[in-house]
Structure 1
Amino acid sequence: MSRSETLQPAPIWRRLAASVYDGLLLLGLWMSAILVEEVLRALFGFGHAWAALRAYLLLLGFCFFGWSWTHGGQTLGMRAWRLRVDSAYGPGLRWPAALSRYALLLCCWGVSLAPLLARLPQVREEPLARPVTLVCLTLLVLGFTAMRLDRLRRGPQDHLSGSLVVLLPRTPG
């Protein structure tokens, strides 16, 4: 009996719940990292290096998700919702697959958050705000429809990284 027959694909709503949980953890990590960066910058009198800060935060996010996915296949949010990322080789991913999964997840979250950001007063008046919102909402509907129709409930990041998010059985006690 194969792994896909013994473990069922994770429901979309559980994946979203784990994503929100992990997003809050990542936000906390980023806030701590920015605090450290600000203190070090003030201590040594350096100016703002926005590109370096963005790269630092992206790398920190990759370390958080990549390490979790390559060491047991679970982030803290996934543990809370009994989810695990599996690959063709078993539980957990290899680093290249984790990198591709993380990169596409960032794109997917960007598409998801763009309509909300377009509602901000300073962005709402931009000429491309409305078309970008419509494109992003269309991509969201298509993405969720594709996940719903896929028997393994795979998202774009799963297809790219060759992974599957599974629902783990309840443990007694």
Structure 2
Amino acid sequence: MRIAVFCGASSGRRPVYRDVAFAFGRLLAERGIGLVYGGGHVGLMGAVADGALEAGGEVIGVMPRALAEREIAHRGLTRLDVVPSMHVRKQRMAELAGGFVTLPGGAGTFEEIFEQWTWAQLGIHEKPCGFLNIDGYFDPLMAMVDAVMREGFMKPVYRQMLVVTPDPDEMIRRFASYTPPPRKWTEAPAP
């Protein structure tokens, strides 16, 4: 099995983000779970890859050519797939991974996980999506998601499908036992 990790190309302001990213990469490798990620050597991306590599894990990076040419690609990976665009990157990562974990990051990180979460709701895939909630980083985002649900723009089952935990072991356990909800729009909407 492989898990895709979406996270920042920056390390953030607090060392705990980098420490947990490194430890999560190491934990994946120790559990025999391959890592698929954005391919960079910088920020949390580099930390999660370094943790997995140090523990002897498989690490596959997927990076658009434009970023690879800027020399931010990690040089010690098991495999680096250089692709033509960000769209192809996300598609390739989705093909390679059996689930998606999000660590702290910015707009690109949010865009990546929200696309996979949407695809899961639509039944395009049946893979788990999770947020490793380091020191409450995703609490404001989850409060917004809960507001969306309360206001009737999302069914509770699609909120509940997200695995949100600060515990890396729990994340892996819940991914292993994940059962997808019914896909959205299996029936025609009422007029």
TM value normalised by structure 1: 0.29
Structure possessing the higher relative contact order (Cα contacts under 8 Å, 6 or more residues apart)? 1
Q: Which has the higher helix share?
A: 1
Q: Which has the higher strand share?
A: 2
